[in-house]
Amino acid sequence: MILYNDILGTVGNTPIVRINKLADHKRKNIFAKLEFFNPGKSVKDRIALNIISEAEAEGKLNKDSIILESSSGNTGIGLSIVSRVKGYPNIIVVDKNCPNEKIKLLKALGATIVMITTEKNDSEDLTERRIEFVNQARDILDHVFVPNQYENPNAPLAHYKHTGQEIINFMEETGIYFKAIFISVGTGGTISGISKRIKEFDPSIQIIGVEPLGSTLFGGEKGPYLQQGPGNYFQPKNLIYHDIDLGIKVSDQDAFNMCRRLALQEGILVGGSSGGVMHSAIDMCNEIAGNVLCVLPDGGEKYLDSIYSDKWLMEKGVVVEQQNINDVHILNIDGLTDYSEFIRKLRGVVLKDEDQGTL
């Protein structure tokens, strides 16, 4: 066993698991790197730690510094963890599309939260508005350090030094080599860092970027999308296209239904960008002669009231393919000591027998 001197020591070295049932009609050649094993439950802990540590090393932070960043939520959570350990106050600028669960986590982690909102189009991406706010606040507030995940080279560098290297170590230690790696794209930090390291190791490994349909990182028409974290309407400086072989788009419908399937068939609870990456990999894996790795950016706990809510999906017009997320069966025990009738019916519910399965 290892003793970690603080929680930051547990960032990175996330596991890789085989995907079994989802792809079993094809070959069992799909693997997933689970970034929700990081302490803030997402890939973004890696960049938060590297950006702040490097800024400290460069003398850009002092005891009066305030950390200020725009985030769809996960970078804010990572930065809040790093800020608490290192003792800086921090301000996180989210927008109204940020899931409530992420807001609650930011609060619990002691961040000061600013939420940008508008009465306009429901699913319009507000990233650029958030960045505008940060740029104005930076000029007005004193002692502010803006990590700027969209441009700071220490974001992709975290993935070059660690995530990419971990994938190489996995291949060398297990003998399981990947022909293609599917990576979700937002700021570009993850894909740019991993692709640079992987192409140095073996340029024949395909790097495939995945963005929401409606995002314009790989061209195409701008439109609304519900996947939180990936995608943008502008091309961040940290998105380096040089080592990306292919950019593909995935609809909310396909991404969210794949989240449901990952949970129900593999027991892997993840967010929408992970569903998007996995959908794309399963769609393309027969065209790729060899093993495929999906980097899954975050866990599903932050989306229980959205992606994992039939009601929310239906309100948003997403067709739910597997509407079998179970109800809670309430047993009122007032005046009741014999539960046998309830228990007998429960059997029908568990086995999904429609004649006997109503409680």
Catalytic residues: 44
Q: Which of 208, 221, 191 is nearest to 284 (CA)?
A: 208
Site for ligand PLP in 185-204 (CB under 6 A): 185-191
Q: Do residues 310 and 323 make contact, with C-beta atoms less than 8 angstroms apart?
A: yes
10, two tokens: 């547990």
Among 214, 271, 275, 300, binds ligand PLP (CB under 6 A): 271
Coil, strand or helix: which one is 31? strand
Least Cβ distance, residue 246 to ligand PLP (angstroms): 16
Instruction: Give the separation between CA 271 and CA 44, rounded to whole angstroms.
Output: 13
Segment near ligand PLP (CB under 6 A); pick from 1-9, 124-132, 167-175, 184-192? 184-192
Least Cβ distance, residue 269 to ligand PLP (angstroms): 13
- Cβ proximity to ligand PLP, 19 vs 185, nearer residue: 185
Among 29, 83, 97, 273, binds ligand PLP (CB under 6 A): 273
- Cβ proximity to ligand PLP, 29 vs 247, nearer residue: 247
55, two tokens: 């800024």
User: How far is residue 6 from each of residues 3, 39, 121, measured CA to CA in Å?
Assistant: 9, 11, 43
Q: Do residues 305 and 277 make contact, with C-beta atoms less than 8 angstroms apart?
A: no
Segment near ligand PLP (CB under 6 A); pick from 81-89, 109-117, 126-134, 179-187? 179-187
Q: Contact letters (x/-) for ligand PLP, 74-113, by CB under 6 A?
A: xx--------------------------------------
Instruction: Give the separation between CA 133 and CA 151, rounded to whole angstroms.
Output: 16
Instruction: Give the separation between CA 331 and CA 339, rounded to whole angstroms.
Output: 9
Least Cβ distance, residue 15 to ligand PLP (angstroms): 18
245, two tokens: 């072989």
Give, in degrees to the nearest 5, the angle at Cα 27 between 195 and 201.
20
Among 38, 127, 184, 257, binds ligand PLP (CB under 6 A): 184
- Cβ proximity to ligand PLP, 77 vs 168, nearer residue: 77
Contacts 24+ apart (CB under 8 A), 196-204: 196/156, 196/160, 196/164, 196/240, 196/243, 197/159, 197/160, 197/161, 197/163, 197/164, 197/165, 197/167, 197/168, 198/164, 198/167, 198/168, 198/243, 199/243, 201/164, 201/168, 202/177, 204/179
Segment near ligand PLP (CB under 6 A); pick from 109-117, 178-186, 321-329, 350-358? 178-186
Least Cβ distance, residue 342 to ligand PLP (angstroms): 40
Give, in degrees to the nearest 5, the angle at Cα 19 between 225 and 299.
45
Least Cβ distance, residue 29 to ligand PLP (angstroms): 23
For residue 144, list its beta bridge partners: 66
- Cβ proximity to ligand PLP, 29 vs 227, nearer residue: 227
- Cβ proximity to ligand PLP, 147 vs 188, nearer residue: 188
Q: Contact letters (x/-) for ligand PLP, 293-312, by CB under 6 A?
A: ----xx--------------
Least Cβ distance, residue 2 to ligand PLP (angstroms): 27
Segment near ligand PLP (CB under 6 A); pick from 70-78, 101-109, 172-180, 278-286? 70-78
Instruction: Give the separation between CA 14 and CA 103, rounded to whole angstroms.
Output: 25
Residues in contact with ligand PLP by CB under 6 A are: 42, 44, 72, 74-75, 184-191, 229-230, 271, 273, 297-298
